[in-house]
Structure 1
Amino acid sequence: MARVIILMLLATVIMAIAPLSGGVPDDQSPKAVAKWFERVARHNTQPKLSKLHFYLHNNFTGNKTTVVQVAQANISATSPTRFGEVRVLDSLLTVTQDVNSKAIGRGQGLFTFTSREELDFSTTLTFIFTSGKYRGSTIQLVGWSPFDKQYREFPLVGGTNDLRLAQGIGTFQTLARDAAKEVIQVDFIFFHY
């Protein structure tokens, strides 16, 4: 009898701790999200520190184009900085620099050339993870990027599922770029619950 009671207590403890150890329920209704926040607050859950390293592949031409221009101002075509031009992207994320390596998701969003004087852009991107540890989760990035810097730093401002409340920094480094394609090394370091 004592053995049954111990097993029941152990099962109860495991069920109480499991949602705090990384699991986000499949139910993402407002009520379920509110319960998740209450549970995090009630247990004074500490944020986790995570790092991600992957590659973003942009294709500018051909039948597998992943970056397209969707708008421009009346001066964009003659501007040396493409001021006013807007592009959207839906680009592959992989585990290595090789575009044929394992795919882990997509980078989707838009960027706008925002300076009349230097080549830079402002961007909002969502990284959608389709495999690996964070499968089904997303992380959002917002920021400004000068083209002439080796490393470009962006704030990470949120996430979903296993990356809820993500906050941190994303660093981009362009490894290869020509008229047809671009490979960007992406490194994230962030806190999340």
Structure 2
Amino acid sequence: MAKLFYLLSIITIIIVLATTSTMGWPTNHVVESVQTTHSRFPIDDGGQKQTHLRFFWHNFAGEQQPTAITIAQGPTTNSSKTKFGLLNAFDDPITVGPNLSSQLLGQSQGIYASTDQKTAGLLMVMNFFFSYGNYKGSTLTILGRNQVFNEVREMPILGGTGLFRFARGFVEARTHSVDSKSSYTIVQYDCYIFYY
């Protein structure tokens, strides 16, 4: 347990300290706003910019070319209905649309762990790394609880790099589709971001 806590601490520090550079994004799937009266932004912090980004996360946990792999599990994980103690690392593509063939925007990299013994609840530690568009070279860091069977899950944005330095806000995750046979899940992410 101490090793798992140490591993999670190191990964969290690495994610928060990751740095990159800047810029070019397809504008037809990005809602940008510098207004202070958006319903998802209840406060006005002066000179901060506000942006809403929407994209799709593709997670392949099956045996054929997985983007998510199990790196640890507890002694009772296999008998647990929630897979309590399961820890996965992932490097998932994020795209403009729900089809994997749509414009690749970057990667979502991190870990998720089953940390709830009663419901399917995950601890998500991840970076969205943008490799295309206006935010190329920038990252957003997410750390929060993902109760995967809820229609909408909200997680906080802890920070970012590049154009998203000092970022804060939240993301809303909505499951778009699940193929249990191939272990392929598509999730829509809406990111509501304050940044300078």
TM-score by length of structure 2 reads 0.74
Matches within 5 A, 1:85-124: 85-124=86-125
TM-superposition CA deviations, 1:28-73 (whole Å, max 9, x none): xxxxxxxxxxxxxxxxx81110110100011112442101111001
Q: Distance in 1 between matches of 2:97 and 2:120?
A: 28
Q: Distance in 2 between matches of 1:175 and 1:99?
A: 13
Decide which of 184, 187, 190 is 2:187's aligned counterpart: 184
Aligned structure 1 segments of 4 or more residues deviating by more than 4 angstroms: none
Larger radius of gyration: 1
Q: Which amino acid aligns with 1:110?
A: I
TM-superposition CA deviations, 1:87-142 (whole Å, max 9, x none): 11100000001100110100000011011111111111100000001000000001
User: Between Structure 1 and Structure 2, how many residues are aligned?
Assistant: 152
Q: Percent identity?
A: 28
TM-superposition CA deviations, 1:74-96 (whole Å, max 9, x none): 01111111111101110000000
Q: Distance in 2 between matches of 1:147 and 1:184?
A: 10
Matches within 5 A, 1:8-47: 46-47=47-48
| Worse-matched range after superposition: 177-186 or 124-133 | 177-186
Q: Which amino acid aligns with 2:127?
A: T
1:132 maps onto 2:133 in alignment: yes
Q: Which runs of 5+ in 2 are unaligned?
A: 1-19, 22-45
Matches within 5 A, 1:138-149: 138-149=139-150
Q: Distance in 2 between matches of 1:118 and 1:175?
A: 20
| 1:147 shift after superposition | 2.0
Match of 1:58 in 2: 59
SS in 2 for 1:46: coil
Match of 1:76 in 2: 77
Q: Which amino acid aligns with 1:51?
A: H
Q: Which amino acid aligns with 2:65?
A: K
- Relative to structure 1, the CA distance from residue 65 to residue 168 in structure 2 (aligned partners, 3 Å threshold; closer, same or farther) is same
Q: Between the two structures, name the one with larger relative contact order (CA 8 Å, sep ≥ 6).
A: 2
1:49 maps onto 2:50 in alignment: yes
Q: Distance in 2 between matches of 1:128 and 1:147?
A: 22
Q: Distance in 2 between matches of 1:186 and 1:97?
A: 11
Q: Distance in 2 between matches of 1:98 and 1:150?
A: 20
Q: Which runs of 5+ in 1 are unaligned?
A: 1-24, 27-44
SS in 1 for 2:116: coil
